[in-house]
């Protein structure tokens, strides 16, 4: 019924509905881009390789690494803003009996520079892969 | 610059009027050990933090005290993290923790060891005395092409045609040659990789083929090797690199902790509660 209603009452709800739909799609795309650090990580690996192969000097490395770190920090900030997990950073496991939802737990808006503390009360799992990886091709 | 560094090193005089960042524990790895251990002042952070163990039962986390913050994966930081693990692995089998993982308090670490005790113990048993080696293989495309031209009949024939033919026929021959070389180069790359993996296969327990980095790399693999087979593996790597001398460059590193084979995944709950 939902979509049909929008089609039937097109002049009334249609364009607004479509606009909202499009906006959400755009937001999703932007959000994905803002919060994806895969590209930066690959660039970092490539940069390290260049240094290792002697293609760049130490000074060049340091300069480009600093630029990548800035980008990583930006991604991290966006991820925190969107309430997504980040790689690394503080973790708590034990429950605080007294301080329920205390410092840091409110998250995003605190400006003290302290990172939010992720909750790993579920403990951890360990992935172990002991097989022989098939090469591509 | 210099003055700033000296100031920060002076721990007896904490900055006044500024909120100090709370201290947490950086975790490097999990080992099986019931007695407290010290690994020296080699931890992350300026001057090297003291690296020690936090225990629960027969398991321990290797840690150092650090400000509770997110660490950037700079080369300096990553090398410090790796250096601690390399030091620990001289005496212990270890499960490496991902770079940058901090815990709020010792209790949090003990809670982790408690809740994941059997898993950690089981994995440590499975990877006992196994070490990782890295093998990156790079090629010099021009050299590979030159070597292919000597052996590939079609390439030789096309070359011949180009040197003798008219303008028109040589244009098509050139296009064909380009395509043939492209295909031959790719084939050769796959063949080299298969050959190298095959040569190492029975001296390693497992292997991971990671995505090659950059244009010149054709192989970016990690191997898990039993310490008893370390010498054999080493020998094989040397043999195969001799076989491809002048054509391929081998970057052989290790021993490492099993970074590519074991992965601790913290079960994170949505924060903000």
Where is B102: in which H helix or E strand? Answer: strand B101-103
Q: Which residues of B15-41 are buried (b: 16+ CB within 10 A; e: fewer)?
A: eeeeeeeeebbbbbbbbbbeeeeebee
ipTM of the complex: 0.76
Which has the minimum average pLDDT: A26-35, A42-51, B221-230, B253-262? A26-35
3-state secondary structure B146-191: HHHHHHCHHHHHHHHHHHHCCHHHHHHHHHHHHHHHHHHHHHHHHH
Given A49, A112, A126, which is nearest B213 (Cβ)? A49
* CA B183 – CA B247 distance, rounded (Å): 18
pLDDT of B47: 82
Q: Do A90 and B72 touch (CB under 8 A)?
A: no
> Which two three-digit tokens encode residue A26?
């755009």
Residue contacts between A and B (CB atoms, under 8 Å): 182
Q: Do A124 and B271 touch (CB under 8 A)?
A: no
Band of pLDDT at residue A105, cut at 50, 70 and 90: very low
More confident residue, B237 or B154: B237
| B88 pLDDT more than 60 | yes
Mean residue pLDDT of chain B comes to 88
Residue pLDDT, tens place only, B110-157: 999 999 999 999 999 999 999 999 999 999 888 888 888 888 888 888
Its pTM stands at 0.79
In order of A57, A85, A109, the CA distances from A36 in angstroms are: 28, 11, 21
Which has the minimum average pLDDT: A5-14, A74-83, B261-270? A5-14
Residue pLDDT, tens place only, A1-38: 455 555 555 555 555 666 666 667 767 778 888 888 88
pLDDT of B210: 92
| B181 pLDDT more than 50 | yes
- Which chain A residues touch B264 with a CB distance below 8 Å? 124-126
**Cβ burial, residue A128 (10 Å; 0-12/13-18/19+):** middle
pLDDT of A99: 43
pLDDT of B16: 47
> Which two three-digit tokens encode residue B64?
């150092």
Which has the minimum average pLDDT: A20-34, B1-15, B201-215? B1-15
More confident residue, B188 or B6: B188
Residue pLDDT, tens place only, A44-65: 999 999 998 899 999 999 999 9
pLDDT of B12: 44
Given B193, B216, B273, which is nearest A135 (Cβ)? B193
| B272 pLDDT more than 50 | no
Given A89, A127, A133, which is nearest B209 (Cβ)? A133
Q: Which of B100, B91, B97 is nearest to B128 (CA)?
A: B91
Residue pLDDT, tens place only, B35-58: 999 999 999 987 899 999 999 999
Minimal Cα distance from A49: which residue of B?
A: B213
Distance from CA of A135 to the nearest CA of B (A): 6
| A115 pLDDT more than 70 | no
Band of pLDDT at residue B2, cut at 50, 70 and 90: very low
Percent of chain B with pLDDT over 90: 66
Q: Do B264 and A124 touch (CB under 8 A)?
A: yes
| B80 pLDDT more than 90 | yes
Q: Do A116 and B208 touch (CB under 8 A)?
A: no
Which has the minimum average pLDDT: A113-122, B123-132, B143-152, B213-222? A113-122
> Which two three-digit tokens encode residue B41?
């002042």
């Amino acid at each position: 019924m939902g979509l049909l209603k929008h089609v039937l009452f097109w002049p009334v709800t249609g364009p607004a509905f479509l606009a909202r739909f499009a906006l959400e799609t755009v937001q999703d795309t932007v959000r994905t881009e803002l919060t994806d650090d895969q590209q930066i990580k690959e660039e970092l690996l490539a940069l390290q390789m260049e240094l290792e192969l002697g293609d760049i000097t130490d000074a060049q490395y340091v300069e480009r690494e600093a630029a990548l770190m800035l980008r990583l920090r930006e991604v991290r900030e966006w991820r925190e803003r969107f309430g997504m997990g980040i790689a690394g950073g503080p973790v708590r496991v034990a429950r605080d009996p007294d301080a329920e939802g205390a410092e840091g737990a409110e998250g995003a808006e605190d400006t003290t520079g302290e990172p939010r503390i992720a909750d790993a009360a579920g403990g951890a799992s360990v992935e172990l892969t002991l097989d022989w990886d098939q090469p591509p091709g | 610059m210099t003055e700033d560094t000296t100031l920060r090193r002076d721990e007896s005089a904490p900055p006044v009027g500024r909120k100090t960042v709370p201290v947490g524990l950086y975790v490097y790895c999990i080992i099986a050990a019931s007695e407290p251990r010290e690994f020296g002042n080699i931890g992350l952070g300026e001057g090297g933090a003291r690296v020690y163990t936090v225990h629960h039962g027969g398991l321990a986390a290797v840690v150092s005290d650090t400000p509770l913050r997110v660490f950037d994966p700079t080369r300096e930081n990553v090398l410090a993290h790796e250096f601690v693990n390399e030091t620990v692995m001289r005496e212990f089998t270890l499960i490496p923790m991902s770079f940058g993982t901090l815990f709020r308090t010792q209790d949090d670490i003990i809670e982790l060891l408690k809740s994941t005790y059997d898993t950690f113990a089981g994995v440590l048993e499975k990877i006992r005395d196994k070490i990782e080696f890295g093998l990156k293989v790079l090629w010099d495309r021009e050299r590979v092409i030159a070597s292919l031209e000597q052996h590939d009949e079609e390439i030789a024939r096309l070359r011949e045609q180009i040197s003798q033919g008219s303008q028109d026929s040589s244009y098509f021959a050139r296009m064909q040659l380009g395509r043939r070389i492209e295909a031959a180069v790719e084939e050769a790359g796959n063949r080299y990789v298969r050959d190298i993996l095959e040569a190492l296969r029975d001296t390693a327990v497992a292997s991971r083929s990671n995505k090659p980095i950059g244009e010149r790399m054709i192989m970016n693999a990690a191997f898990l090797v039993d310490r008893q087979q370390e010498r054999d593996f080493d020998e094989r790597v040397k043999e195969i690199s001799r076989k491809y001398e002048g054509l391929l460059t081998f970057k052989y590193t290790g021993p490492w902790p099993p970074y590519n084979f074991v992965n601790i995944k913290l079960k994170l709950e949505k924060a903000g509660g």
